[in-house]
Amino acid sequence: MSQGSSFEQAFGRPADASGSAPGRVNLIGEHTDYNGGAVLPAALERRTEVWLARSEPPVISIVSTRFEHKIERPVGDPKRGDWTDYAMGALAKASELGWLTGGACLYIDSDVPDGAGVSSSAALITAILRAVATIADVDVTPVDIAKHARAVENDYIGMPCGIMDQMAVGLADQGKALALDTSDLSYDIIDIPTDWRFVVLHSGIRRELADGRYKARFEECSAAAAALGTETLCRLTPAQIAAVATLPENLRKRTTHVVSEHQRTVAASAAMRAGDLATFAQLMNESHRSYSEDFEASTPEIDALIKDALEVGALGARLTGGGFGGCLVALIAAQDSAAFVDTFLARHEAVWRV
């Protein structure tokens, strides 16, 4: 049965439109997006697909292939702290934009894992906004969709994220990376060399961006930027760099990470364009050390997994995503990737490939 047919079975009518978006893995460039720096994400094969129809009653009816029961919430319902908030926020933004009036029926099918650091929320919000834009017959660019999707997370969900995830799921294609400058949203699509393999592995440690630790890091970066008199912590003047030493230790360490991570990401983009596998891998390893020691967003368990991945055969490996759990990404020469995955998974029962 097609998912379009599943929508009709669930709601007794055909869908008006559909939309989809992939998950993403961030190859390098962590917590630089809200600090005006560079990021380098890539699309995953896993996708979120939605089917949507307008409905007259002011009710949002949601069916997901991951859950058994239909969920109904009134239009305008504030966030409740569960997964349907992301759908409600996307539809509220669509209503605010004039793309949708009244209620809606929504059917969701996704194999993008949540709590894994691969942008399941951005994929869902983006897919919904794309579907509603189709219904409303509005001409909207992928960048505008990304801006609206970020606003949903910032304003409705209350998550102070940058715009990397939304741009990545809206612009990246399989086998390509998005070299994005978040200071002005300029970007370049880079072909990932065919003899490289990025393997995404879930650590087995679920993390929630809404649990407060991501927000704490955001606030520390904001405090450091205010103390240094800048709006882009990744791009400091020589005088501001000299002043970093005067910051409290936690702010000094956060600043050290985002400044160096921006520089690593710019260098990594150049290495990918040049097909320089060794340099890219080294930059990934330096990135994880900084993420763990300076940004303090890793865990001892994940640090141990990273160390073991390198011992098993990865050339570069790092924690990816917002931190404190979720996925690691490993870079392996293409001909060695299958053996690496088999060996690594055999050594770690809780780990699974995304």
Amino acid 1: pLDDT:
40
Q: Which of 191, 215, 233 is the last residue of a domain?
A: 191
* pTM assigned to the model: 0.92
Residue 233 CB-density burial (10 A; 0-12 exposed, 13-18 middle, 19+ buried): buried
| pLDDT at 210 > cutoff 60 | no
Distance, in Å, from the CA atom of 92 to the CA atom of 314, rounded to the nearest integer, reads: 44
What pLDDT, in 10s, does the model give residues 175-208?
999 999 999 999 999 999 999 999 999 999 886 6
What pLDDT shows up at residue 218? 95
Instruction: Indicate whether 283 and 298 sit together in one domain.
Output: yes
Instruction: Specify which residues 28 forms β-bridges with.
Output: 40
Residue 40, beta-bridge partner list: 28
The verdict on whether 294 is a catalytic residue reads no
Q: Which two tokens stand for residue 136?
A: 């409303």
221 and 165 in a single domain? The answer is no
How much of the chain exceeds pLDDT 70, in percent?
Answer: 97
| Residues 120 and 200 reside in one and the same domain | no
pLDDT in the model for residue 208: 61
What is residue 211's predicted lDDT score, i.e. its pLDDT? 63
* pLDDT of residue 269 exceeding 90: yes
Burial readout 141-152 (b: 16 or more C-beta within 10 A, e: otherwise):
eeeebbbbbbbb
Residue type, 86: Y
Sole residue written with tokens 């605010």: 96
Q: E-strand spans in 98-168?
A: 103-110
Strands 103-110 and 59-64: parallel
How sure is the predictor about 117, in pLDDT bands with cuts at 50, 70 and 90? confident
Domain identity same for 185 and 203: no
200 and 176 together in one domain: no
Judgement on whether residues 223 and 326 belong to the same structural domain of the protein: yes
| pLDDT tens track for 303-319 | 999 999 999 999 999 99
Of 167, 191, 215, which residue sits at a domain end? 191
The CA-CA-CA angle for residues 313, 117, 324, to 5°, reads 85
How many C-beta atoms lie closer than 10 Å to residue 187's C-beta? 18
**Which amino acid appears at position 284 of this protein?**
M
How many independent structural domains does the chain possess? 2
Of 42, 68, 48, 52, residue with least CA distance to 111: 48
Provide the CATH number for the domain around residue 59: 3.30.230.10
Q: Residues 26, 96: one domain?
A: yes
Q: How far apart are CA 120 and CA 23, in angstroms?
A: 6
Average pLDDT, the chain: 95
- Does residue 112 register a pLDDT over 90? yes
29 and 89 part of one domain? yes
Q: Between vectors from CA 332 to CA 350 and to CA 336, what angle results, nearest 5°?
A: 90
332 and 220 part of one domain: yes
- What value does the mean pLDDT take over residues 266-281? 98
CA nearest to 152, candidates 218, 95, 212: 95
The answer on pLDDT for 155 being more than 80 is yes
What average pLDDT score do residues 128-151 get? 97
**Is 169 in the same domain as 124?**
yes
Residue 288 has pLDDT above 80, yes or no: yes
Pick the catalytic residue from 114, 165, 181, 294: 165
pLDDT at 46: 94
Q: Are 225 and 36 in contact (CB under 8 A)?
A: no
CATH number of the domain at 283, please. Answer: 3.30.70.890
Look at residues 191, 219, 241 and tell me which one is the last residue of a structural domain. Answer: 191
318-331 pLDDT, tens digit each: 999 989 999 999 99
* Residues 138 and 246 grouped into a single domain: no
| Same domain as 295, residue 183 | no
Phi-psi category of residue 137: left, alpha or beta, with phi > 0 → left and psi -120 to 50 → alpha = left
Average pLDDT value for residue range 240-250:
98
The parent domain of residue 157 ranges over: 3-191
In the predicted structure, residue 129 carries a pLDDT above the cut 80: yes
